[in-house]
Amino acid sequence: MHLAYPAVLAVLLFCVGLYGVLARRNAILVLMSVELMLNAVNLNLVAFDVWLRDALHAGQALTLFTIAIAAAEIGIGLAIVLAVYRNRGTSAVDDLRDTAERPDDGGGGGGDSEGAAAEPDQPDRPAEGKASQKAEATA
Amino acid sequence: MTTTTLAVLVPLLPFLGAVAGLLLGRTVPGLARPLAVLPALTSLVLAAVVAARQGGDGAVDAATQLTPTGSVPVELALHIDGFAALVAVLVGVVASCVQIYSTAYLRDDPRYPSYAALVSLFTSAMLLVVYSGDLMVLLVGWEIMGICSYFLVGHYWETPEARAASLKAFLVTKLGDVPFLIGLFALAVDADSFRITKILATVANGGLDHPTLIALLLLAGVAGKSAQFPLHSWLPDAMAGPTPVSALIHAATMVAAGVYFIARLLPVFAASAAALVVLAVMAAVTMAGSALAALAQDDIKRVLAYSTIGQLGYMTGALAVGDRGAAVFHLLSHGAFKALLFLAAGVIIHAAGTNSLAAMSRMKDLRARVPDAYWTMTVALLALAAIPPFSGFFSKEAVLGAAEHTATGHAESAPATAGWIVLVAGLVTALLTAAYAARLWLLAFYGRGAEAPDHGRQPVAMTAVLWVLAVPSLAFGVTVGALPDWFDGHKLAPTLTTSVLGTGLALVGALVTYGAWRHTTALAARVPIGAVAAHPDADAGQVEAEAIATHAPAYGDVASAPDPADPGRLLLGPLHRHAAVGFHLDAVYAALFVRPVQAGARLVRFLDREVVDTYVRGAGTAPRWLGAAVRRAQTGNVQTYLSALLAGTVVLAVAAVLVATAGA
Amino acid sequence: MTFAAVGHGTLAAAAPQGFLSPTGVEIAFVLVGLVTLGAAVVTVTTRQLVHAALWLVVALGGLAVEYLLLTAEFIAWVQVLIYVGSVVVLLLFGLMLTRAPIGRSPDADSGNRPVALAVALAAAAALVWVVVDAFRTQWIDLDKPQGTTDVTGSILFRHWVLPFEALSVLLLAALVGAIVLSRRNAARSESPGPPRAADSDKEQR
């Protein structure tokens, strides 16, 4: 079998997953897209392992590890998504914009407000777990 | 103790007194007065001993070099000749009198300790100038006097007049000091030493390369310090200081420093005929102009200030004709009677509650309230007007005699032109001096109208000093025969021609003024005028401060009053208006210097605010706009960030591949 | 290219075969690949969230078939077990717990979609170009199976045993992390979320 077939399939799957990560709103759909990307990598690993006839079967071993890590990742990711959903009532990725600079502080171009702009972000939020806010950025 | 040790102690004691006064005066108020008076008195005694030991013989010279100071050595040097010894005695006398007088005059002043310490420091600096044999050391004393003068003139710093006057005194004298310093350096470079003896030796050998330039540069500093035209305008304004300060600084000592300096270095000036003529013209303009201005002043102290300028003009005139003996003789007698005049004026201001002659001329029997001041001031005014046999007559005739001597071509050192200029100006000034002296006397003591306010007797410390100073004013003339031994040996006794001329003119001036006064005094009753200090029972210093502060609001000007009963107004006619403001010299200065400087400052401010700041603001605005633009990218949407990141990765990867392909 | 050089060195039997005369395995691979790719595309584009999860099952299952075709049978069964069996079920639980709408949701895609499409297409173009350019002449010899369960197991527990144990520690850490994250803070009571959501995750694991 031509090596190009699994390689191209992996590339296309990866890019589909990429599109999903960038375009989907729901965090769980984003996680699914991440799974697609991981699987694309797995396919590559398997294909090259077979092609190279690796005596140690490094490709297949790494594929197994990747699958295990993906499972762990999906567990953690879902826990984070659930925590966010409990706190915010939404799991839409583009609603979570706490790291943005809000238009009322500093957008007006007052020369002396730059220093203070970063500060008031946190305190006037409703009382929420800071840890989950940080975590949702990584989800 | 050797004479040298004594001479070192003379300036050192008031200096230590000043330091102790500044350190202890506030914490131990009881010590302030002894610390002020005792060093001055001790210095006087020591200066007298030094003078007695020196005795007009050969000069006492001593020098020690503390450390090498480069190409031209600076040495701590003493040079005590007859001039130095006698001037030091004068300084000691006046300083002691002023310190004693001040204890009463500023009785209740909370700033008395610092004031007394500054007067002590000033005395020390003046004695240093007098005794110093090294020009750099002399310059130290010279500048200390300048800064002390600044502080003391500004003693009543609550009043705007005093603040302005102290700044003006400082700036104007500094204006002269800059060329003075350059002149000193030029002189030292030519003579290769700052020692006066070596410089004089160099001059005697003709080793001076640029005598005219050096003399003119030094002359600028002297004009500033000794209040000669055109740098004299600070002195009348400096009358915003307390009266004892005026007596000490602006009559007897500091302003005399310039004259004394020329007297010491006269050969340097005599090496240049041009410098002597300039000096003569300066003296003549100063004399005549200040006498005219004195005739128009209303503030009693400003009259005396202008008279000081005029008498200093006599001294520089004597120097211009090459006779430093006459100059220092006049310096000594003038120091005594002018100090007396100022101190007596302080008593009068305290008693009358005003410093305005117009207001005094409407007070009856002021002379009965202050008999000590009346009699001593009469003596001093007679001395000022050079009426025989008072001291001023002898010293002024010595000046006029020297001028006549030179004018008729008998002097070898000075040009005849200078002699003529000084002689004519001196005679005119003699007439005017008598006129303003008579005006002052008549207006102050022979007023008509309401009774003068009665504040009881004046403090003894103030009146006793007047009598002490009255003695030399009355009798200093008898030393005229002995003085030449102390000086250069020129005869100082009056000559017949000038005596008759000068005394005659003085009498004419006094009589004309009397006539004018008789004519105008009738008007006085019709035009009521007067302003009296609000706290007549306070100490004299406070009364004077209030009088100065209220003069401009009450009469419209610090210098003159709109008084039709003023004989000076009748005598001067249309000239009065110009004389009252010192012939518009301040306005000229304002137009020549102040306004260009202010315009330059405005220009610089404009350049700074509108041009330089534009760049600064631009440097701030551009990053701010850039920041605003970059901030728009911070949406907080993780997907956007990730898209940008991955797009960048793709671009980089493609670029890497392309580069690798091209390389292969 | 550099990638290809590795292949040349190690693989002696790199006989170039034409693309126009595919073998049976190739045909099967391509067909299953097309199904997999289609399912993946539907997964990332459908507006029905639950359908997305189900299409993901198809895609992952298709990949498992591809593994089989590549003679990696153990990987294929692990794929089916873990991905299809647990991960997708987990995702479905997640969808339900976050009250994902059943049916078409109009806002399944964010406003970032055009950018995402552009980036994905660019990445695809670049990667396909590179991969095809590098490996178009390489041939995989599938005659001798490379990934039998016997061989994989022995290799895994002989050579890879240390990373394997480290992986178990990682899984433990993930477990603890998931518990900590999904535990409801006792002090907070206003949370609108469903009760004890995280426990079910761990049971699935």
DSSP B214-237: HHHHHHHHHHHHTT-TTS-THHHH
CA distance B268 to B490: 19
The per-residue pLDDT for range B134-169, each reduced to its tens digit, is 888 888 888 998 888 888 888 888 888 888 888 888
Interchain contact, B636 vs A100, CB within 8 Å:
yes
> Cβ of C131 under 8 Å from any chain B Cβ?
no
Residues 287-306, chain B, touching A (beta carbon < 8 A): none
Q: B–C: how many Cβ contacts below 8 A?
A: 29
Task: Give the span between the Cα atoms of B69 and A1, in whole angstroms.
Answer: 100
* pLDDT at res. B628: 87
Q: C128 at the B interface (CB within 8 A)?
A: no
Report the C-alpha gap between B256 and B639 in whole angstroms: 90
pLDDT tens by residue, C64-122:
999 999 888 889 999 999 888 888 888 888 888 888 777 787 777 887 888 899 999 99
- Output phi, psi for B61, to 5 deg: -125, 135
B658 interface with C at CB cutoff 8 Å: no
Query: How many Cβ contacts (< 8 angstroms) between chains A and B?
Result: 38
Q: What pLDDT, on the 0 to 100 scale, is given for residue B558?
A: 65
The pLDDT value recorded for residue C191 is 46
Lowest mean pLDDT among B203-212, B351-360, B397-406, B559-568: B559-568
How far apart (Å, rounded) are the C-alpha atoms in residues B483 and B200? 22
Buried b / exposed e over A47-67, threshold 16 CB at 10 Å, is bbbbbbebeebbbbbbbbbbb
The total of other beta-carbon atoms located within 10 Å of residue B436's CB is 31
* DSSP string across C32-99: HHHHHHHHHHHHHH-SBHHHHHHHHHHHHHHHHHHHHHTT-HHHHHHIIIIIIIIIHHHHHHHHHHTT
pLDDT recorded at residue A39: 93
From chain B residues 605-644, the ones with a CB under 8 A of any chain C CB are 637, 639-640, 643
Q: Which chains touch C (3 or more CB pairs under 8 A)?
A: A, B
Q: How confident is the model at residue B526 (pLDDT cuts 50, 70, 90)?
A: low
Residue C62 has pLDDT above 90, yes or no: yes
Residues of C in contact with A9 (CB under 8 A): 29, 33, 36-37, 66
Give chain A's mean pLDDT: 76
ipTM confidence: 0.79
pLDDT at A9: 93
User: What is the DSSP secondary structure assignment for residue B635, as one 8-state letter?
Assistant: -
Residue that the structure tokens 């199976």 belong to: C145
pLDDT at A109: 43
The pLDDT confidence band at residue C9, using thresholds 50, 70 and 90, is: very low
Q: Which residue has better confidence, B230 or A81?
A: A81
Residue with tokens 């477990």: C175
Q: With 80 as the cut, is the pLDDT of residue B188 above it? A: yes
Question: Do the strands B363-364 and B450-451 form a parallel or antiparallel pair, or are they unpaired?
Answer: parallel
Give me the mean pLDDT over the B25-50 stretch.
85
Assess whether pLDDT exceeds 70 at residue C10.
no
Q: Is B624 on the interface with A (CB under 8 A)?
A: yes
pLDDT value at C201 more than 50: no
Q: Nearest CA to CA, how far is B626 from chain A (Å)?
A: 11
CA distance B627 to chain C (A): 24
Nearest CA in chain B to A25: B639
Residue range B97-119: average pLDDT? 86
So what's the pLDDT on residue A128?
Answer: 41
Taking an 8 Å cut-off on Cβ atoms, the answer to whether B631 and A107 are in contact is yes
Cβ pair A106:B646 closer than 8 A: no
Mean pLDDT of A72-95: 87
Out of A7-21, B463-477, B516-530, the most confident range is A7-21
Domains of chain C: 2-140 (1.20.120.1200)
Q: What is the pLDDT of residues B272-326, one digit of tens each?
A: 888 888 889 989 999 888 888 888 888 888 888 889 898 999 898 888 888 888 8
Question: What's the whole-number average pLDDT of chain C?
Answer: 80
d(CA B151, CA B529): 33
Assess contact for C53 and A32: CB atoms under 8 A. yes
φ, ψ for residue B451, nearest 5 deg = -65, 145
In which residue are the tokens 């300039």 written?
A: B278
Is the pLDDT at B454 greater than 50? The verdict is: yes
* Cβ contact B316:B327 at 8 Å: yes
Task: Determine the pLDDT at residue A18.
Answer: 92
Of residues B640, B643, B654, nearest to C126 (C-beta): B654
Distance from CA of A95 to the nearest CA of C (A): 10
User: From CA C171, how far away is CA A66, in angstroms rounded?
Assistant: 12
Q: Enter the tokens of residue C169.
A: 């520690």
Residue-level pLDDT at C144: 80
Give chains near B: 3+ CB pairs under 8 A.
A, C
Contact A99 B627 (CB under 8 A): no
Rg (CA), chain A: 21
Position B450 pLDDT exceeds 50: yes
Does C83 sit within 8 Å of A39, measured CB to CB? Answer: yes
- Average the pLDDT over B386-412 and give the result: 83
**pLDDT the model gives residue B165:** 87
B649 touches chain A (CB under 8 A): no
- The predicted model scores a pTM of 0.66
Arithmetic mean of pLDDT, C190-197: 46
* Residue found by looking up tokens 């671009």 in the block: B651
Give the span between the Cα atoms of B532 and B550, in whole angstroms. 9
- What residues in C contact B637, CB-CB < 8 Å? 110, 112
Q: Which candidate from A23, A43, A64 shows the least CB-CB separation from C156?
A: A64
For residue B282, what are the CA distances in angstroms to B230, B234, B236? 8, 16, 18
Give me the residues paired with residue B364 across strands: B451
Structure confidence at residue A103 (pLDDT): 60
CB-CB under 8 Å, B657 with C123: no
Task: Tell me: pLDDT of B548 over 70.
Answer: yes
Q: How confident is the model at residue C125 (pLDDT cuts 50, 70, 90)?
A: very high
Of C110, C122, C126, which is closest to B639 when you measure between CB atoms? C110
CA distance B661 to B516: 117
| More confident position, B451 or B194 | B194
pLDDT tens per residue across span B596-624:
999 999 999 999 988 888 999 999 999 99
Higher pLDDT, B344 or B547: B344
Contacting residues of C for A26, CB less than 8 Å apart: 49, 98, 100, 108
Burial of C15 (0-12, 13-18, 19+ CB in 10 A): exposed
φ/ψ (deg, to 5) at B277: -65, -45
User: Could B628 and A101 be called an inter-chain contact, meaning their C-beta atoms sit closer than 8 Å?
Assistant: no
If one compares C39 and B526, the residue with the highest pLDDT of the two is C39
C96 touches chain A (CB under 8 A): no
Of C44, C141, C191, the CB nearest to A20: C44
Looking at chain A from residue 21 to 60, which residues have their Cβ under 8 Å from any Cβ of chain B?
21-23
The region of weakest confidence among A81-85, B572-576, B650-654 is: B572-576
The whole-number average pLDDT for the span B419-448 is 87
What is the enclosing helix (H) or strand (E) of B80? strand B76-80
What confidence score (pLDDT) does residue B623 get? Answer: 92
**Residue B389 scores a pLDDT above 90:** no
| Model confidence at B23: pLDDT above 50 | yes
Q: Tokens 């426990």 belong to which residue?
A: C199
Domain boundaries, chain B: 1-271, 273-572, 588-662
CA B619/CA A40 separation, integer angstroms: 51
Do residues B300 and B345 make contact, with C-beta atoms less than 8 angstroms apart? yes
Is any Cβ of chain A less than 8 angstroms from the Cβ of C166?
Answer: no
Sketch the domain layout of chain A as residue ranges.
27-88
pLDDT at A134: 44
Q: How far is B611 from chain A (nearest CA, A)?
A: 20
pLDDT at C13: 43
**For B3-7, B100-104, B530-534, C168-172, which range has the lowest pLDDT when averaged over its residues?**
B530-534
Q: Between C120 and A110, where is the model more confident?
A: C120
- The pLDDT of residue C53 is above 70: yes
* Amino acid symbol at A17: G
- Stretch among B49-58, B190-199, C109-118 having the lowest mean pLDDT: B49-58
Which DSSP helix (H) or strand (E) runs through B363?
strand B363-364
Share of chain C above pLDDT 70, in %: 81
Q: Are residues C2 and B660, on separate chains, in Cβ contact within 8 Å? A: yes
Decide if B318 contacts B402 (C-beta within 8 A): yes
Confidence grade of residue A123 (pLDDT, cut at 50, 70, 90): very low
Residue range C146-167: mean pLDDT, rounded: 88
Q: Express each pLDDT in B330-375 by its tens digit.
A: 888 888 888 888 888 888 888 887 788 877 777 777 778 888 888 8
DSSP C12: S
Confidence of residue B480 (pLDDT cuts 50, 70, 90): confident
The percent of residues above 70 in pLDDT, for chain B, comes to 94
- Position C59 pLDDT exceeds 90: yes
Q: Which amino acid does the sequence have at B418?
A: A
Q: Is C90 on the interface with A (CB under 8 A)?
A: yes
Q: Is C154 on the interface with A (CB under 8 A)?
A: no
Chain C interface, best mutation among A1, A45, A49, by max C CB count within 10 A: A1
pLDDT at residue B198 tops 90:
no
Q: Percentage of residues in chain A with pLDDT exceeding 70? A: 72
A85 in C contact zone (CB under 8 Å):
yes
With residue B64 as reference, give the H or E element that holds it: strand B60-64
- Mean local confidence (pLDDT), C138-156: 84
Q: Which DSSP letter does residue B541 get?
A: H
